[in-house]
Each structure stands twice: as structure tokens, then as C-alpha cells.
Structure 1
């Protein structure tokens, strides 16, 4: 609605010029002055008010656009069907209605315009003077060019907004909002790409899978707010370790993953650094809370037939690490 309001004001102001020119030439401006004031100065604001206060603003605005077309039909007939202003009027009406409501709205508006033009022409005795002076032609050109440029700009801005919204939706579909990391769906797609890329280029890749030791007891003893904070901190550390080329993700619950285009040795170094960083976490609200993680590291091997086998290898390595950690306690 807020986009249509300035466009309606612009349209009526631009179209006012050629139609006032024709009325001056016909000597009928005084007869139609009230209609000019109503159409140019009053109607755009009334239409906006009606749409904004309605339960269904879009439906009311579509009705307003049909009324616009009906008014256009009145002016076409009142100016004795002068062709150049009529062409400017009809091109703007058609483009606007098609952009706002498609062919259905354009059809309704065309019918309204034709009916009112016919009734007005009949009431005036069917005057027909299609010619136009150079002044009228010159005043018609801004209505076509400026309005179409403005309409194109509005369409461009709307397209940009749709693209941005689609990107946001894609991000929401592929991101875990709780920790602001890619979710399992995104991880699976990226892991498959990395498997294909690494094998095609004979490059190295390593996968780290980790979870929080005793995460259930953290939630039970300190509450879910503390558990959520632990997950966010681990996600932050994963992003730091991933750098520009790594790919961190939350697989679900307290389980995370980190894909690296690196060797097993480098992956084990990153795992050791992560364990140390998590062990040093200090949560101000829960100073007595100590966090540890278990990490499984698995390089991409030639015998892995796909992503599932690679993830399975990292999972098994993580459970071995978790068992070793329990044994040391």
C-alpha cells in the first residue's frame, strides 16, 4: 500500500498536465475544474486512507485501482478522445494494474475504463477530436517516461527485496538458530561436495565429530539456559577454528562437526586445541561449571564409499575417545 500511494500521486500529477492542456484548448477547464481537484488533490489520499483502515488492504487497493481506471475513462471521453493523452493514460493504467494484480486486475480495470468512457461519451454526445497540439504532446511525454521510469524503479526494488528475503529463508533453512551454525542438512550437502572435490583433486580432508561430555547432567544441575550457553560457546570456538576454509556445523543436540581440508595430523592438532579451549571455558553466571568434550577425528579415506561411511568413522572415533576419557576418570 505504501508503494502505491506515492505512485498514484505521481501518476495523477503527471497526467494532469496533458489533460489540463486539452481542457484549456477546448475551453472546458472551468466546467471540469472540480473534477481535476477531486482526482488530483483529494482521491489519492482518500484511496490510501481507505486501504490502510481496511481489514483486507490488498483487496481494497485493487478496488481503488479499478476506480483509478474508471476515472481515466472519464477523462478520455471528457477530452473528446484526444489520442496522445489517452495513450499516456492507458499505458500508465495498464502497466500499473498488470504490475499490481496481474491480468485479472488489468481485465477488471479495462472494463471499468471502457464502460465509464462509453457512458461519458454518450452523455456528451460522442464528441471526437483525436488531434493534439504540440503543447499537449510535449506535456504527455513526461507522463509516459517519468512514470515508467518510476514504475521500473519500484519493480527493481521489489525484486531486490524478494531476493534478500529468499536468501534469508535459505539461511534459516540451512542454519541452526540456537548456535548460528549450519545445520545437519547444510552439513550433509557440504560434506558431499568436499568428498567429491577431494577425490577429484586427490586432496586431503578430515572430519571432526564432537559432543559435550555429560551434557544431560549440565541441563539437570544448572538448567537448560546454562546448557544453551555451553552450546553457543562451543559453536563460537568451532567458528574460530574453522577459519576461512573450514566448515563447522551442529548435527543435533550437543553434537557438532567440523570439516577441514587438511591432513589427519592437522585435524588432531585442531581437536587438541578445541579440547583445551573448551576445558578453559569460564561462564560468569555458572562459575562452578566445568565443560569437556569428546572428539573423533577421521580422515577421508579411499575405502569410504560416501559421506555416511566417513561420518560413521568419525562417530566411532568419538565414542572411543569418550570411553577413554571415562576410563581416566
Structure 2
């Protein structure tokens, strides 16, 4: 147990999380690729009437080495670093087989290409370029041992023997890449959801709400259709947190968010600006917005919390239409904020509205 923990600690030191299990991810593809790669090599060796050392080395590379590499990385103190060395050995083996085949064109080119592509597919920066040196060195050493002989012509049996590697390995790599792409897409969608939503209340985040509010303001300016904004502030929220704790305060915010969500007409957008303040934009006129705001205020006033049913909370709400036809989002928010200030100054637990036509304010309890 001590050995395993020590290995895990070393493996995690400075190694990106997605590469810590590289040797486990590589094992199936190495077994498949190298197993299929020996087929054309063996056919070439048969045609060349090669001696037993060439046969033994080819069989070791294709059938034994993937399992040796797996065990080597698994029992290494730092599996990730051991697997990087395994990749270098893969390339060296591919390079060593080309001279043994007398540089038979199709299988030699295919082996060297697949070996290099596997390094790229591993996702380790610069691995493929570093492996080329080992590949060339092994090719040179194999040439010195086997002799320099070149017979690049590829016979039909060798072409047929290349097909499994060309087809099966390519499809397997494509399937692996497809799964990775799908995983990244799902993570991106999840990240997009997180950036668009407030994690506590489930309403839109501040940035996403501002984008939606800006779009509604542009739609209002282009079409002249009514639009209204509500700013909702929880009354005495700090006192709730101080008296009952932040967990209860979070329950209050979630409950109010539920009331807001249930009150919105179609086409509306509600977000949490931060702390205890919410913002809403709706494609409705000032009268309808005021009615919706009153509904939200009344709903919050009767909100029951499961953990503290006797607690009563209230909200102050400022409502405003775009002040002018060419108003920007900041100006619109300032108008609603001014109305909110008036609601709080008038005693809280009420709605105050700013009318865009004359700039007047109205407040109701």
C-alpha cells in the first residue's frame, strides 16, 4: 500500500490530470495497432525467406511488446514518464522493421506513418518530433545488422496484409478521437451552462442577463414594442444572515428566485446581479410590469421556508421602461435603480415605478 501511494504521489507531481492514466489509455490501441502491423511484415519476411532472428524480432514487437510496455509502465514509480519512454520504443521498433523488410515501400511507409500518428494522437506536446530521432537511430542500427538491401516493390499479398491495419486501426483511432471530441463538446456545453446560470438560484448569471437585457433593449428600439425592467432587492437581508445564518439566507434567495421564475411572462429574462439583488427584463408595458412586480412582492411575503416556516421576508422592487428611444442598458438600469431607491426610502416591501414618458415615479405598498 505504501508503494502504491508513493507512486501515485509521484505520478501526480507536475503531470496534467488528463495524462496521468496515459498508459492505460494507450494499451488497447498499442495492442491493436502493433498486432495488425506485424501481418504485412510477416508476409514480406516470407517472401524474402528471412531467417529466424527477423521472425522472432517481428513477433516480439507485434505480439509481446504491447504487454511488456503495459507492465513496465504499471510497475514504474512514475507511470506517465515510463509511458513516454514506451512511445519512444514504439517508434524505434517501427524504424527497425523497415530495413528487415528491405524497405518494402507500402508496409514501411505505413508503419512509420502510423507510429508517428500515434504520438500525435497521444496528446503530448512535441512527442512525435522527439520520437523521430529514435526511429532513425533504430533504422540505422537495423540496417547495420541486417545489411543494406532495398526491394521497394510491394506484391499483392503484402498489399492485402496491409489492409487490416489501414482500415481497422484507422477506424479505431477515429472512434477514439470521436469519443474525445464528444466529451469535450459535453464539457463545453456544461461550462456554457455554468457561465450562463447563477449556481445558487438557477437564474441567469449577471453577464448572461446583461447580454439578454441588451438584446431586448435593441429589440425595443428597433420595433417600438414595450419593454420593462424590474430590479428586486431583498429587504434586511443582512439581518437575516446575521440572525439565522448564511444557509437560511441562501434558502431565502432560492425561494425568492422560485417566485420570480414562476411570475415571468414568456420572453422574459431574470438574473441575479449579485448578493441579494435580482434583475428582470420583460416584453411588457409599464402597467403589466407593475402588476407582475406586485405579484412577486406578494409571493415573497407569503413564502414559506421548510427549515424556518415562521421566517417572513420581503422585497422592494423598482420598475422602469427604457427612459428614451436611444437609451443604453446602463441608463435603463439607472432608471430602475432610481425607482428601487424610492421604494426602499418609502419604507420597503413595495413597488416603485418610473414612467418613460414623463419620468414620474409611482409607488405602491
TM-score by length of 1: 0.89
- C-alpha deviation, 1:97, in angstroms: 2.1
Q: How many residues align?
A: 329
Give the direction of change, closer, same or farther, for the CA distance of 1:221–1:57 in structure 2 (3 Å limit): same
Give the direction of change, closer, same or farther, for the CA distance of 1:65–1:206 in structure 2 (3 Å limit): same
Secondary structure of 1:176's counterpart equals coil
Residue among 183, 190, 193 paired with 1:161: 183
Q: State the alpha-carbon separation in 2 of the partners of residues 185 and 284 from structure 1.
A: 31
Q: State the alpha-carbon separation in 1 of the partners of residues 291 and 316 from structure 2.
A: 14
1:284 pairs with 2:306: yes
Q: State the alpha-carbon separation in 2 of the partners of residues 53 and 295 from structure 1.
A: 65
Report what 2:163 is aligned to: 141
Report what 1:132 is aligned to: 154
- C-alpha deviation, 1:266, in angstroms: 2.0
Q: State the alpha-carbon separation in 2 of the partners of residues 102 and 327 from structure 1.
A: 60
1:256 pairs with 2:274: no
Secondary structure of 2:122's counterpart equals helix
Instruction: Assess if the C-alpha contact under 8 Å between 1:304 and 1:310 holds in 2.
Output: no
TM-score by length of 2: 0.81
Residue among 277, 296, 301 paired with 2:323: 301
Residue among 161, 174, 180 paired with 1:152: 174
Instruction: Assess if the C-alpha contact under 8 Å between 1:271 and 1:295 holds in 2.
Output: yes
1:77 pairs with 2:99: yes
Residue among 24, 33, 38 paired with 2:46: 24
CA offsets, 1:73-107, max 9 Å, x none? 11112222211211221221232223335783222
Instruction: Assess if the C-alpha contact under 8 Å between 1:74 and 1:113 holds in 2.
Output: yes
Report what 1:95 is aligned to: 117
1:4 pairs with 2:26: yes
Residue among 180, 186, 194 paired with 1:172: 194
Give the direction of change, closer, same or farther, for the CA distance of 1:51–1:185 in structure 2 (3 Å limit): farther
Instruction: Assess if the C-alpha contact under 8 Å between 1:20 and 1:29 holds in 2.
Output: no
- Computed over aligned residues only, the root mean square deviation of the Cα atoms, in angstroms, reads 2.6
Relative contact order (alpha carbons < 8 A, sep ≥ 6): 1 or 2 greater?
1
Instruction: Assess if the C-alpha contact under 8 Å between 2:41 and 2:58 holds in 1.
Output: no
Secondary structure of 2:318's counterpart equals strand
Instruction: Assess if the C-alpha contact under 8 Å between 2:297 and 2:349 holds in 1.
Output: no
- C-alpha deviation, 1:51, in angstroms: 4.5
- C-alpha deviation, 1:227, in angstroms: 0.2
Residue among 214, 224, 239 paired with 2:236: 214
**Unpaired runs of at least 5, structure 2:** 1-21, 351-364
Instruction: Assess if the C-alpha contact under 8 Å between 2:38 and 2:59 holds in 1.
Output: no
- C-alpha deviation, 1:57, in angstroms: 5.2
Q: State the alpha-carbon separation in 1 of the partners of residues 277 and 117 from structure 2.
A: 54
Q: State the alpha-carbon separation in 2 of the partners of residues 170 and 35 from structure 1.
A: 52
